[in-house]
Amino acid sequence: MANASLSIFDRQRTVLLTTYRRDGTPVGTPVHIALDGDRAFFRTWDTAWKAKRIRNNADVEIAPSTSSGKPTGSALPARARLLSGEESARAARALARKYPNMHGWIVPLVHRLRGNKTVHFELTRR
C-alpha cells in the first residue's frame, strides 16, 4: 500500500487515526473523515488530546476501521495540518455533506454545549 492514495477511504465512514505522544507511543482514535481530492478532513475540539499530539508531531497514520476503532485494513502514513478560516469552513461543509446528521448538527451542538472550540484538520499522504 505504499503508493496508495487517500481515495481508498472514499466510502469509509470511520478511520483509525494514530497519533504519537512525545515519547513516540502510538495512540489510536477512531474519527470520521470526508475526502476532498487528495486530502481528507476530520474534526475534533481544540483541547482534545489528539489535537495536542498533532500539534507536537504532525506525522500520523490512518487505517480503515470499525466505528469502535478496530482496524479493518492496513495503515497509511499521513500528515495532519490544522486548518483555519475558509479552509476550516470547507472541511466543515465536507463533513456535513458526508454525515448530515452527525456532523451537520449533532457534533457542532455538542461542542458548543461543552464550551469547546471545534477545530478541523487536513490529512494528506506523506
Range of the domain at 120: 6-125
Residue written as grid cell 461542542 = 111
Residue 85 has pLDDT above 90, yes or no: yes
**Does residue 1 sit within a domain?**
no
At 95-123, the pLDDT tens digits run 999 999 988 889 888 888 988 899 999 99
Q: What is the pLDDT of residue 80?
A: 98
Q: How many structural domains is the chain composed of?
A: 1
Domain of 109, CATH number, reads 2.30.110.10
Average pLDDT over residues 67-86: 96
pTM of the model: 0.91
Q: What is the pLDDT of residue 29?
A: 97
Q: What is the pLDDT of residue 4?
A: 63
At 15-62, the pLDDT tens digits run 999 999 999 999 999 999 999 988 999 999 999 999 999 999 999 999
Residue among 126, 104, 99 at smallest CA distance from 34: 99
Spatial separation of the C-alpha atoms in residues 20 and 50, rounded to whole Å: 8
Under 8 Å CB-to-CB from 121, ≥6 apart: which residues? 41, 42, 43, 44, 51, 54, 80, 81, 82, 83, 91
